[in-house]
Amino acid sequence: MERELPDFFLTDLPREAALTPAIIADACETLRRNRLRYLRDRSTESLVATFGGLAEKWLDDRYPLRQLALAQGESRTQYPAAVIRRGLDELFSSLTKDGLERLILQDLGHLRRLDDPVSDELERRAERKSFALGPELIAHVPGGAIPNPTVTGLILGFLVRSAQFVKCAEGASFLIRLFAHSVYETDPKLGACLELADWRGGDRDLETPLWQAADCVVAMGSDETMRELEKQLPCQTRFLPYGHRVSFVYLTKAGLVETSPRNLVAGIVDDVVRWNQSGCLSPQVIYVENGTTPNPEQLTKWLADELASREASEPRGKISDRAAGRIANSRRLYEIRAASSTDTVVYASRGSTAWTVVLDHEPRFQGSCVNRFLHVKAVENLDEVLGGAEEVRGQVSCVGLVAAATEAPALVRRLARWGVTRVCPVGRMQTPPIVWRHDGRPSLGDLVTWADWEL
Amino acid sequence: MNELSALSTLSDELIRLFDREAQAQFDGSAIGEDAFAGLARRLFRLQTSLNPRYRPVVESTGLASVDDWRRFPCVPTAAFRDSDWSCIPRQERTGAFVSSGTTRGLRSRHCHSRRSLALYRGSLYRWFFHHFRSPRNAQLMVLTPSPKDAPDSSLAYMFGAVSQAFEEADFYGRISTDRAWELDRQRLVTDWNEARRRDRPVALLGTAFSFVWLLELRELPPLPAESLLLETGGYKGLVQEWRRSDLYDALISRFGLERNRLLSEYGMCELSSQAYDCRAGDSAEPRSFRFPPWARCQVISPETEQEVEMGATGLIRVFDLANAWSVMAVQTGDLGRRLAGGVQLLGRASETELRGCSLRFEA
C-alpha cells in the first residue's frame, strides 16, 4: 500500500522512520497553524457539502480508496471483504448532508451555530444569540478495529472547526488511514488539518506532547485504559471517554406475536454479522421470554440456521488463534453442560469456529466470545433480565427490543431508568443514525464551548 | 473386581510404571507409545464408567468405544470451576487443589484422596528431579507458603513434596491478612546472606510473581555458584506483568545465575503431571515444555480440533495418566506452538470476558 498512497501522514512513513516527541509536538503545532489558515473560517454549509460528497464517493464501487479497502482489507484488518463492504456501505449511507444538518440542529439548535452568534426562536424572544466553538485541536484515541466511531468523530471534529490528531493503536489504522487519505485527496486544505500516527499505547514520551497540545481528547477503550489516560491529561483538557460497552436483545411474548419470525431472525443475525459482532452495539445475548411462539428452543435453532446460511454468503473469515481458542474453549464448556442438562443446547459450525449459538436458562448476562458467538437465554420477564445483567449495569449501550406497541413505552422507561442509553428494533442495533447520542451523550454538543451574547 | 477396585489397581500400577520409567531415564521403555495407548484406553473406560460427570460427555459425543486416546473427549480446565470431575468416592476424599483463577471469583477444584495423592507424588517427584538437578548440598528456598499454610494449593503441595529430598529446606511465602501470598522478606534476606556467606548453592522455587518481588529486594547479593532456580506462572495481573525473557535477563544479571540453571515449569491444579522447559545444565534452544512419558501433549487447531502441523499454534491438550482419579483428557485454556521436542507456551487464549468494540484493540 505504501506505493499506492502518498506519504502524507506520519502513519504513512516507513517503519524505520521512528517517531520522536519533537515530531509529535511539531505536528501539533503545524495542525494548529493550518487550522487557522484553512479551517476556522470555513462555513458549515461548505463542510457539510464536502463530507456529504465524500460519503457518496465511498459508496461508489469505482472509488479507488474503497477498492483498496476491499482488496487489502482482509489482510490488513480482522475482517473479510464482505464484512468490510457492508460496513462501509452502512457507515457512509448514514453520513449524508441531510443527516449532518439534522445532527447540528439537534445538538446545537441552529444550522449556523458554528459560523456566527445566532438565535433560534426561543433565543430570539429572549434577545440572545449564541455561538458554538469547537476545540482548536482534538486528539482521537480509537479503541476498536471498527472504523465507524472514528470516521464519524473526525467529521464532527471538522464540523466544529478543530484540527485533529488520531493516535491509532499499533497496526490497527488501515481503514482510518484510507479515510484520512480520502479527506486529503478531496480537500487538501482539510487534509492539512488532520494528522495520523500509530504507536503502541502507553509510550509516555510520544503521548505527553500530544496530551499537552490537545484541547480535547476523545478516547475509546477499556475502562481501565480510560482511567489511566485521564490521569495523564492536563486538568483543563476536555476528556470524552467511551469505555467498555455491551448490548443485548430482549424479546417479549407479546412482541413476538406481532413480529415475523423470519424477519426477526434475519435482523438479529444482521446485527451479529456486521463487523463480526465486534461492535459495542452488537448483541451478545438474546433474552427471550418463556412461552413465546416460536419458543426459545425453536428460535435458537432458527438463529443457528440463519448464521449457517450467512456463513455461505458472508463468511466470517479467519480470526486469530487466540480468538478462535476462546471460542473453542467456550463451546466445549457449553457442550459439556449440554451433555448432562437439557436446559443447555449448543449449535455450532462444524470444522470451524465460524458461528455458535448457545441456549440456556441462566439469566446472568454472559459476555460473548464475539466473532458470531451468540447466547440465547430464556427468561420469565424483564425483572429477570435486569437482575441477570446487573453486573453490566451502566455498561449497556443498546437494547434491541421486540415488544408489543402497548407494552413498549413502559419497558423503555424501565430500561432507561436502569441505565440503557439506546433502544431500537433488532436489525438496526449496529447502524445507529448519525443523530445517535453515543453512550447517552450528544456527540457534537459535547465537543463545543458556548459563547452567549445577550442583546 | 469392581471398577473402583480396577481403578485402584491401575493407579498403583501406574506408580510402579512411573518409577520404572524414571529408573530407565525416561527412555520410554516402561511407557512407550503402545503402553501409553493401552493404559490410556483402560483408564478411559474406567473413567467413563466411574465418573458421573464425564460419562454423559462421552456418551453425547458417541465416542465411548473409540480406542485412540487422541479422540477421547477432553474436558476444558474451565469446567473444573463449576463441576466435580472426580472419580473418588466422597468418603475417601481428603481435600482438593484449588486454582488461583479469578474469573468472576470462580476457581477450579480438583479433589484428591490418599491414593490419588500418592499417584500425584509419583508423577511429580521423578520428573521434577529429572530436570531440577541441584547439587547435593544445595539449600532449598521456596518462595511460596508451605503446604500447611496453603493446603489447597497444588503448587505448595508440589514444592512441599520435593522439599523433603533436601537436607535444608524452608518456605519463605506466607498468607497475608487479605489471603494473598507474600514474602517473609526479612527471614529470606537473612537466610540468603547466610547461604552466601557459607558459599552454599541455593535452589530457589517460586512463582514468576515471587521472583519479581525478589528483584525488588535491593539488599540481596548474587547467589553462590551452582545455584539454580525454577519459576512457574501464577498471580498474573497482581503486579506489572513481565515478559518471561525480561524476567530471566533481570534474574541472571542481578543474581549471577547461568541461563541454563533457570527452569520454567508448566502445570495447573487440573492436571497431576507437570512440564519443564529445560534440564538444569542443558543449553538446548529453543526451549519447549515437555511432559513426562505418561502425559501426552497435543496442540490442536481451535478451528478443526485436529492436531496442528509442526511449528503451528493452537490450544494445548494434555492426556495425563496421573489424572487417573478425575479425567485424563484435559483441554487447557493455553495457546502453544508445536515443536519437535515439546510445546512452546504462548499464553492464555483467555477466558470468555465481557467485550465490546472498545476492547478489540487496546490503544
Task: Tell me the C-alpha distance between A309 and A311, whole Å.
Answer: 5
A chain contacts of residue B352, beta-carbon cutoff 8 Å: 326, 329-330, 366-369
Instruction: Write down the pLDDT at residue B352.
Output: 44
What's the mean per-residue pLDDT of chain A?
94
Please write the tens of the pLDDT for every residue from A118-155: 999 999 999 999 999 999 999 999 987 789 999 999 99
Which amino acid, residue A23?
A: I
User: Closest chain A residue to B312 measured between Cα atoms?
Assistant: A321
Instruction: Write down the pLDDT at residue B239.
Output: 45
Is residue A393's pLDDT more than 80? yes
What is the complex's ipTM, to 2 decimals?
A: 0.88
Instruction: Write down the pLDDT at residue B350.
Output: 63
Residue in B76, B314, B363 nearest the CB of A169: B363
Residue in B61, B304, B358 nearest the CB of A243: B358
B76–A329 C-beta distance less than 8 A: yes
CATH code of the domain occupying A246-424 = 3.40.309.10
Distance, in angstroms, between B254 CA and closest chain A CA? Answer: 26
Instruction: Write down the pLDDT at residue A254.
Output: 95
DSSP state of A335: H
pTM (2 decimals)? 0.91
Query: Does B311 contact chain A (CB < 8 Å)?
Result: no
A190-213: average pLDDT: 93
Cα dihedral A21, A27, A33, A34 in deg (nearest 10): -170
B359–A322 C-beta distance less than 8 A: no
Interface test with B, best of A245, A336, A438 (most B CBs within 10 A): A336
B chain contacts of residue A275, beta-carbon cutoff 8 Å: 357
Tens digit of pLDDT at every position of chain B (363 positions): 699 999 999 999 999 999 999 999 999 899 999 999 999 999 999 999 999 999 999 999 999 999 999 999 999 999 998 889 999 999 999 999 998 755 556 788 999 999 999 999 999 999 999 999 999 899 999 999 999 999 999 999 999 999 999 999 999 999 988 888 889 999 999 999 999 999 999 999 999 889 988 998 988 999 999 999 999 875 444 444 567 788 889 999 999 999 999 999 999 999 999 999 999 999 878 889 999 999 999 999 999 999 999 999 999 999 999 999 999 999 999 999 999 989 999 888 865 433 333 222 222
Instruction: Write down the pLDDT at residue B234.
Output: 53
Domain boundaries, chain A: 10-244+437-454, 246-424
Whose CA is closest to B195, among B255, B258, B261, B281? B255
Task: Tell me the C-alpha distance between A219 and A240, whole Å.
Answer: 6
In this structure, are residues A357 and A327 in contact, taking their beta carbons and an 8 Å threshold? no
A280–B357 C-beta distance less than 8 A: yes
Task: Tell me the C-alpha distance between B276 and B290, whole Å.
Answer: 6
Task: Tell me the C-alpha distance between A400 and A429, whole Å.
Answer: 6
Distance, in angstroms, between A24 CA and closest chain B CA? Answer: 17
CA distance to A48, A51, A195, per residue, from A98 (Å): 9, 11, 27
A209-238: average pLDDT: 94
Range of lowest pLDDT (A197-201, A267-271, A402-406, B272-276):
A197-201
Residue in A143, A282, A322 nearest the CB of B349: A322
Range of lowest pLDDT (A6-10, A204-208, A417-421, B20-24):
A6-10
Is residue A194's pLDDT more than 50? yes
Residue in B79, B331, B363 nearest the CB of A143: B363
Task: Tell me the C-alpha distance between B137 and B168, whole Å.
Answer: 8
DSSP state of A77: S
- A152-186 exposure pattern, b = at least 16 Cβ within 10 A, e = fewer: bbbbbbbbbbbbbbbbbbeebbbbbbbbbbbbbbe
Task: Tell me the C-alpha distance between B61 and B74, whole Å.
Answer: 11
A325–B76 C-beta distance less than 8 A: no
CA distance to A11, A213, B94, B128, B334, per residue, from B267 (Å): 43, 49, 21, 12, 11
A397–B359 C-beta distance less than 8 A: no
Distance, in angstroms, between B143 CA and closest chain A CA? Answer: 31
Query: Does B60 contact chain A (CB < 8 Å)?
Result: yes
Range of lowest pLDDT (A52-56, A167-171, A244-248, B316-320):
A167-171
Query: Does B327 contact chain A (CB < 8 Å)?
Result: no
Report how far Cα A55 is from the mean position of its chain's Cα atoms: 17
Q: Is A274 helix (H, G, I), strand (E, B) or coil?
A: helix
A167–B363 C-beta distance less than 8 A: yes
Instruction: Write down the pLDDT at residue B310.
Output: 97
Whose grid coordinates read 438496526? A428
Class of domain A10-244+437-454: alpha beta
| A378: its cell numbers | 430464556
B357–A149 C-beta distance less than 8 A: yes
Whose grid coordinates read 441462566? A362
A284-306: average pLDDT: 95
Task: Tell me the C-alpha distance between B295 and B267, whole Å.
Answer: 12
Instruction: Write down the pLDDT at residue B1.
Output: 63
DSSP state of A79: S
Distance, in angstroms, between A171 CA and closest chain B CA? Answer: 9
A352–B349 C-beta distance less than 8 A: no
Task: Tell me the C-alpha distance between B20 and A245, whole Å.
Answer: 57
Residue A433: pLDDT band (50, 70, 90) is very high
Residue in A167, A324, A395 nearest the CB of B303: A324
Residue in B56, B359, B360 nearest the CB of A339: B56
| pLDDT-above-70 percentage for chain A | 98
Residue in A144, A333, A367 nearest the CB of B358: A144
Q: Which residues contact A354 (CB under 8 A, 6 or more apart)?
A: A307, A311, A315, A316, A372
Task: Tell me the C-alpha distance between A455 and A450, whole Å.
Answer: 16
A chain contacts of residue B76, beta-carbon cutoff 8 Å: 329, 332-333, 336
In this structure, are residues B322 and B122 in contact, taking their beta carbons and an 8 Å threshold? yes
| A122: its cell numbers | 426561543
Is residue A73's pLDDT more than 60? yes
For B187-205, the DSSP string reads HHHHHHHHHHHHT--EEEE
A chain contacts of residue B335, beta-carbon cutoff 8 Å: 321-322, 325
Instruction: Write down the pLDDT at residue B251.
Output: 93
Query: Does B309 contact chain A (CB < 8 Å)?
Result: no
Query: Does B62 contact chain A (CB < 8 Å)?
Result: no
Task: Tell me the C-alpha distance between A285 and B222, whole Å.
Answer: 55
A284–B304 C-beta distance less than 8 A: no
Residue A8: pLDDT band (50, 70, 90) is confident
Q: Which residues contact A144 (CB under 8 A, 6 or more apart)?
A: A220, A278, A279, A280, B357, B358, B359, B360, B361
Backbone angles phi, psi at A128, to 5 degrees: -135, 155
| B51: its cell numbers | 465418573
Interface test with B, best of A206, A210, A321, A393 (most B CBs within 10 A): A321
Query: Does B57 contact chain A (CB < 8 Å)?
Result: yes
Distance, in angstroms, between B272 CA and closest chain A CA? Answer: 21
